């Protein structure tokens, strides 16, 4: 059986690929699990400094597979689908490396929510973006009314989620929904080049900047604050003195250095 999501490494770039092209990479629970595993692997790869997210075939991601969630009970829909999907998308949004969504195909519903969880979006002009969920009697469930509002602005999300507007990437660029617009067939090339430039920057400074921006926008808070403070403390002589004294069962002699 072919892998549903893969992680490849190209130098300092990690490339996560959704591989369900016959369904335009629509997400079901096995795909979400595979995506979560790929993100965990990328997080632990010390030599990976930027991560690209792309879809195989003609679509980036058509969102949640209706056949997968349509048969769930209300309780299972809430827990197994919405809450679990949130967990996976939060995992992407909080990945330590900067992330770039490669939009060479449409990103609709959950697909746009997936792209919104990335730090940047590179799109080709033919790509369509929107939140069409209310047309089938459901609402965006993987942060389309939360993270997307924080990152794109309330009115543009209102137009997509309530007004039903679908935007081509050319117009989405003017609204800040995508960051760069490139010629058809060039999205991956552009995203890879951008990722390489990011990878040349100081990795620890880049990760710290991403955490601080996450705190400012409400993406991260307690965990990010504690991670920044703990990372600082890990570099101090006081920590080394404290650990050494603990092992020796002695009173530590701190130097505030």
List 113, 190, 219, 220, catalytic entry:
113
Q: Is residue 16 classed as helix, strand or coil in its secondary structure?
A: strand
Alpha carbon distances (Å) from 167 to 53, 109, 120, 173, 242: 21, 12, 17, 9, 57
Among residues 100, 93, 101, 1, which one has the least CA distance to residue 59? 101
List 56, 124, 133, 207, catalytic entry:
133
State the Rg of the chain over Cα.
20
Q: What is the 3-state secondary structure (H, E, C) of 77-93?
A: HHHHHHHHHHHHHHHHH
Among residues 203, 206, 151, 146, which one has the least CA distance to residue 177? 151
> Does the active-site annotation cover 113?
yes
Which residues, 6+ apart, have CB-to-CB distance to 155 below 8 Å? none
- Which residues are tagged catalytic? 113, 133
């Amino acid at each position: 059986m072919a892998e549903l999501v893969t992680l490849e490494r190209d130098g300092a770039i990690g490339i996560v690929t959704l591989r369900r092209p016959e369904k335009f990479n629509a997400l079901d629970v096995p795909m979400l699990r595979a995506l979560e595993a790929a993100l965990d692997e990328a997080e632990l790869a010390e030599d990976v400094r930027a991560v690209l997210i792309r879809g195989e075939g003609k679509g980036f991601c058509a969102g949640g597979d209706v056949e997968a969630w349509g048969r769930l009970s209300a309780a299972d829909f809430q827990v197994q689908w919405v809450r679990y999907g949130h967990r996976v998308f939060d995992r992407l949004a909080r990945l330590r490396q900067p992330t770039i969504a490669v939009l060479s195909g449409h990103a609709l519903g959950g697909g746009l929510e997936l792209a919104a969880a990335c730090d940047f979006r590179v799109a080709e002009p033919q790509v369509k973006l929107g939140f069409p969920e209310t047309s089938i009697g459901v609402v965006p469930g993987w942060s389309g009314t939360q993270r997307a509002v924080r990152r794109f602005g309330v009115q543009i999300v209102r137009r997509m989620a309530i007004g039903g507007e679908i935007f081509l990437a050319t117009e989405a660029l003017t609204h800040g929904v995508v960051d760069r617009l490139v010629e058809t067939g060039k999205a991956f090339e552009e995203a890879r080049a951008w990722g390489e430039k990011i990878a040349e920057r100081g990795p620890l400074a880049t990760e710290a900047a991403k955490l601080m921006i996450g705190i400012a926008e409400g993406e991260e808070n307690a965990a990010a604050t504690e991670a920044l403070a703990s990372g600082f403390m890990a570099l101090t002589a006081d920590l080394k003195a404290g650990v050494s004294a603990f092992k020796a069962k002695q009173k530590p002699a701190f130097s505030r250095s």
